[in-house]
Amino acid sequence: MTVKVGLLGLGTVGIGTAKILLDPAERHPLVKAVEIYRVGVRSLDKPRAIELPRDRLTTDLQAIVTDPNVDVVVELIGGLEPARSLILEAIRQGKHVVTANKAVIARYGDEIFTAANEAGVYVLLEAAVGGGIPVIQPLKQALGVNRIQAVTGIVNGTTNYILTRMQEEGGDFEAILADAQKLGYAEADPTADVDGLDAADKIAILASLAFGGRIKLEDVFCEGIRHVSASDIAYADRLGFVIKLLAIARRDTCPMSNEALEQLQLRVHPTLVPKHHPLASVNDVYNAILVEGDPIGQVMFFGPGAGEGPTASAVVSDILNIVGTLQSQSVAAASEPQNPLLACTHQHYCQVSPMADIVSRFYVRLLAKDQAGVIGRIGTCFGNHEVSIESVVQIDVHGETAEVVVVTHEVKESNFQAALAELREFANIQQVPSVLRVL
Amino acid sequence: MTVKVGLLGLGTVGIGTAKILLDPAERHPLVKAVEIYRVGVRSLDKPRAIELPRDRLTTDLQAIVTDPNVDVVVELIGGLEPARSLILEAIRQGKHVVTANKAVIARYGDEIFTAANEAGVYVLLEAAVGGGIPVIQPLKQALGVNRIQAVTGIVNGTTNYILTRMQEEGGDFEAILADAQKLGYAEADPTADVDGLDAADKIAILASLAFGGRIKLEDVFCEGIRHVSASDIAYADRLGFVIKLLAIARRDTCPMSNEALEQLQLRVHPTLVPKHHPLASVNDVYNAILVEGDPIGQVMFFGPGAGEGPTASAVVSDILNIVGTLQSQSVAAASEPQNPLLACTHQHYCQVSPMADIVSRFYVRLLAKDQAGVIGRIGTCFGNHEVSIESVVQIDVHGETAEVVVVTHEVKESNFQAALAELREFANIQQVPSVLRVL
């Protein structure tokens, strides 16, 4: 049985996908069962790194998703429209869909999966998170027997590259971002990466799978890395931490009983990670996703989070998953029940805790005058709001100004913010350049 | 549809498996579709950590594998017999099998998978390698679209625990092994772990999946960690390495053209791993498996390699995989074709390179008299056999004896061994206490 694929988009990932499918030797034998039947492109005449018969190419993407011969539509054009409409049309036509489009799934997953379940087709998205790293499928299948407590990821390669270089070179954000742009590791408009929006899309998708509920993207708290400075990285280093942009989805626990609640924490922010933590040594453009569950404990998936080859590997693995499922069914797919491990059937929305309720540790860097009295003042102010201090380090003195770094114990966000607001009012606190969370 | 499981064995992993199945809340909804129908135990009266109705238990394991109501047999008794016979009988009866038994699969996989393919049933074994870490399924599915170049694993928790403690405490093997035995991290008879036999079973299984061929266990070169000394670990540390017991399966490349050959390297041995390598920071009882392939690059899976909860997680995920597949088929399983991503259909044996042909780097520690001339002598002797030296470090001198550590460039094993044999004949070489391979 040959399965006919309609490929939408022949950019980097599309080229990588076609390369695998056109060169099946020494790969899983099932790769041979996949035929690139139609490829939708913007221009027919552009020179490309692969050879495809000219009559397979078309600029009419709509014709691909409605072609009765196409079994699986592979959406690799990215962005919201026309990607969303093409995916929905493919589903309506009874076609399975494979996509690498995190933005469209994070925003329209609800609509897309509802339509897919009605049509009895699969929508697979391994390439949408973590590039080539198999993490979507393990979350749906191998890890699904666990009661998941948390998914914590370094899921954006650009910011991890920038933070790693800041760590290694002691350089500042702006200079290294500019260099990363020159080297092609960051986009000309770096907003989606450095402001954490890309990571927010991805953690919304991971949380939905890990906790079996739908996620509203606006529920994800999102803070980027623009304000992380070379001196924060240096202080963190001295305190035994590295700074990483983490995307966190965690089942909230009751602070009194430590019992799991029905609410999730969902947040993306730069975080001080202890050096011995498995995520601390994930550097450069690599991604990693740490899953904690009962009874498995901690499992981590590490690998290349982007790039032609890795992302294409994930796309083709999804195609194969559909081919394998179709081959194990003796009759036409549409009349068969779905494999619940591949389908996405949850309907309800997850409850997400407001950020003000979340308990975490904080790192604060302050510039203060009159150092003799200032530490007492900080301590009192934090104490008034039940913020307990783990350590105070007065690291550098420049003339009359002392730089003071405070690390707190676990504290409720709203209490911490109230203390911070009060602190900012003190005459001898000149500036609070950094507030970061600690894992 | 409920799927009825016959559980063979109610030891640590059996208890863990039952705990998950009896407590499905907040897990994948499919867990509820699994019924523990029969449990085979050695003694009916032993007190246990879980409650099961007395009439589910039996000491007659044969009756479970032949019970027409049982859909899936879960073999958790371990060892070779009666495990092998019970698995084969279950297959003949048309039942799917889930097993955590690496020993039986590494030795009788050929017979078992041939029988399974004839009967049209699945034999799944996620728990056999890497405890809870999902690695078998990703190798069969998500990574299968890649041309795999190498699988390199820390797959034995006991030896990794011992080596980590030797690294951290500077202690010697025997003392730390004794302590590990007292703490329950090593067996009373530690042979299978410390001599690398357990790791050999596991890499044989991983290689078979990664390279799509059967493996003869006796083709795996196997060297344990008994001879790794505190001073080797200290020297390795100074040279920028940690010592790990690695299990390696690698597609051989032609030394001249670097082109992939049709032969595999299969070996287990203590190895100097550069500190920046992803496997270097995998410590204590944790396992990790690094997969390298084209086009994915490097992907690593990290997690707990043993224990009740993690191993049970893997067992139940296999059961669910079968349940999901059965639910997506509208007619009785036996008449349906198999999903080629779950089945194991390769028939041929992999060609394995003899150890003498393998190219690697070496670390050698020598005790020599008359240090003035000895380094020249070592250099000449290695040079005679085309062994090129990367570095020679003369680290300690005790009286008349100098300790010399040599690290070679890549060299063919047979050349290296010939040079070493010649070196041992020199009057001023008193001893060669350590020879280790370098990654």
Provide the chain B residues 396-415 that lie in CB contact (below 8 A) with chain A. none
- Look up residue B358 and give its two tokens: 């393998």
Residue with tokens 């991290």: B185
Indicate the residue type of A171.
G
Q: B88: helix, coil or strand?
A: helix
Instruction: Give the whole-angstrom CA distance, residue A336 versus residue A248.
Output: 37
φ and ψ of A31, to 5 deg: -55, -35
* Crossing angle between the packed helical segments B413-425 and B371-384, to the nearest 10 degrees: 140
Instruction: List the single residue in A with minimal CA-CA distance to B345.
Output: A29
Q: B412: helix, coil or strand?
A: strand
- A84 to A88, A102, A193, B45: CA distances (angstroms): 6, 11, 22, 60
Q: Give the A:B interface size as CB pairs under 8 Å.
A: 220
DSSP annotation of B122 reads -
φ and ψ of B240, to 5 deg: 95, 25
- Look up residue B233 and give its two tokens: 């670990």
Does A307 sit within 8 Å of B132, measured CB to CB?
no
Considering only CB atoms, which chain B residues are within 8 Å of A278? 281, 302
Which of these is catalytic: A202, A216, A275, A369? A202
Instruction: Give the whole-angstrom CA distance, residue B436 versus residue A298.
Output: 31
Q: For residue B69, give the nearest of B21, B35, B117 by alpha carbon.
A: B35
pLDDT at A64: 98
Provide the chain B residues 99-128 that lie in CB contact (below 8 A) with chain A. 126
Provide the chain B residues 139-158 that lie in CB contact (below 8 A) with chain A. 141-147
Q: What is the mean pLDDT of each run of 10 residues along chain B (439 residues)?
A: 95 96 93 96 89 92 97 96 98 97 96 94 96 94 93 97 96 95 93 97 96 93 96 94 97 70 90 95 96 97 94 96 85 66 81 92 90 82 92 79 92 94 89 94
Q: B238: helix, coil or strand?
A: helix
Considering only CB atoms, which chain B residues are within 8 Å of A339? 324-325, 327-328
Task: Quick: pLDDT tens for A192-245.
Answer: 999 999 999 999 999 999 998 999 999 999 999 999 999 999 999 999 999 999
Q: For residue B399, give the nearest of B365, B431, B370 by alpha carbon.
A: B370
Instruction: Give the whole-angstrom CA distance, residue B289 versus residue B292.
Output: 10
Query: What percentage of chain A carries pLDDT values higher than 70?
Result: 96
The distance of B170 to chain A (nearest Cα, Å) reads: 19
Q: Is B174 annotated as a binding residue?
A: no
The band of A256, judged by pLDDT with boundaries at 50, 70 and 90, is low
φ and ψ of A260, to 5 deg: -70, 135
What domains sit in chain A, N to C, each tagged with a CATH number? 3-132+308-335 (3.40.50.720), 137-304 (3.30.360.10), 358-438 (3.30.70.260)
Exposure string for B287-303, b = 16+ CB within 10 A, e = fewer: bbbbbbbbbbbbbbbbb
Tallying the residues shown for chain B, one arrives at 439
Residue with tokens 């194991």: B344
Residues B229/B134, Cβ–Cβ less than 8 Å = no
Bridge partners of B253, per DSSP, are B260
Residue with tokens 């954006």: A156
Q: For residue B79, give the nearest of B107, B115, B46 by alpha carbon.
A: B107
pLDDT at B260: 62
Instruction: Give the whole-angstrom CA distance, residue A222 versus residue A357.
Output: 15
SS (H, E, C) chain A: CCEEEEEECCCHHHHHHHHHHHCCCCCCHHHHHEEEEEEECCCCCCCCCCCCCHHHEECCHHHHHCCCCCCEEEECCCCCCCHHHHHHHHHHCCCEEEECCHHHHHHHHHHHHHHHHHHCCCEECHHHCCCCCCCHHHHHCCCCCCEEEEEEEECCHHHHHHHHHHHHHCCCHHHHHHHHHHHCCCCCCCHHHHCCHHHHHHHHHHHHHHHCCECCHHHCEECCCCCCCHHHHHHHHHCCEEEEEEEEEEEEECCCCCCEEEEEEEEEEEEEEECCCCCCCCCCCEEEEEEEEECCEEEEEEEECCCHHHHHHHHHHHHHHHHHHHHCCCCCHHHCCCCCCCCCCCCCECEECCHHHCEEEEEEEEEEECHHHHHHHHHHHHHHCCCCEEEEEEEEEECCEEEEEEEECCEEHHHHHHHHHHHHHCCCEEEEEEEEEEC
pLDDT at A300: 98
Considering only CB atoms, which chain A residues are within 8 Å of B29? 212, 340, 345
pLDDT at A335: 60
Indicate the residue type of A276.
H
Bridge partners of A363, per DSSP, are A407, A436
Helix (H) or strand (E) holding B136: helix B136-140
pLDDT at B371: 65
Q: Is A102 annotated as a binding residue?
A: yes
Instruction: Give the whole-angstrom CA distance, residue A87 versus residue A6.
Output: 12
pLDDT at A393: 83
The band of A9, judged by pLDDT with boundaries at 50, 70 and 90, is very high
Does B137 sit within 8 Å of A141, measured CB to CB?
yes
The gap from C-alpha A89 to its chain's centroid, in whole angstroms, comes to 27
For chain B, the farthest-separated pair of C-alpha atoms sits apart, in whole angstroms, at 81
Does B341 sit within 8 Å of A320, measured CB to CB?
yes
CB-based contacts of A215: which residues, under 8 Å, 6+ apart? A106, A109, A204, A205, A207, A208, A266, A349, A350, A352
Task: Quick: pLDDT tens for A152-161.
Answer: 999 999 999 9
Give the mean model confidence (pLDDT) for residues A265-289: 96
pLDDT at A181: 95
The distance of B321 to chain A (nearest Cα, Å) reads: 7
Instruction: List the single residue in A with minimal CA-CA distance to B144.
Output: A28
Residues A123/A97, Cβ–Cβ less than 8 Å = yes
pLDDT at B375: 84
Instruction: Give the whole-angstrom CA distance, residue B233 versus residue B244.
Output: 10
Residue with tokens 């301590």: A379
Task: Answer yes or no: B202 catalytic.
Answer: yes
Exposure string for B67-76, b = 16+ CB within 10 A, e = fewer: beebbbbbbb
Instruction: List the single residue in B with minimal CA-CA distance to A149.
Output: B26
The band of A397, judged by pLDDT with boundaries at 50, 70 and 90, is confident
pLDDT at A37: 97
CA atoms within 13 A on the CB side of A309: 13
pLDDT at B315: 97
Q: What average pLDDT does the structure give for chain A?
A: 92
Considering only CB atoms, which chain B residues are within 8 Å of A2? none
Give the mean model confidence (pLDDT) for residues A72-98: 97
Question: Smallest Cβ distance to A327: which of B147, B295, B340?
Answer: B340
Q: For residue B296, give the nearest of B107, B97, B145 by alpha carbon.
A: B145
Instruction: Give the whole-angstrom CA distance, residue B197 versus residue B201.
Output: 6
- Look up residue B131 and give its two tokens: 């405890």
Provide the chain B residues 242-261 that lie in CB contact (below 8 A) with chain A. 260
Question: Smallest Cβ distance to A295: which of B29, B310, B338?
Answer: B310
pLDDT at A409: 95
CB-based contacts of B69: which residues, under 8 Å, 6+ apart? B4, B37
CB-based contacts of B180: which residues, under 8 Å, 6+ apart? B158, B161, B162, B165, B186
DSSP annotation of B279 reads T
Task: Quick: pLDDT tens for A323-361.
Answer: 998 888 765 555 667 888 888 777 788 899 999 999 999
Torsion of CA B64, B68, B72, B74, to 10 degrees: 10
3-state helix, strand, coil in chain B (%, to 5): 40, 30, 35
CA atoms within 13 A on the CB side of B309: 13
Question: Smallest Cβ distance to A138: which of B138, B144, B310?
Answer: B138
pLDDT at A330: 63
Start-to-end CA distance of chain A, whole Å, equals 50
Does A296 sit within 8 Å of B147, measured CB to CB?
no
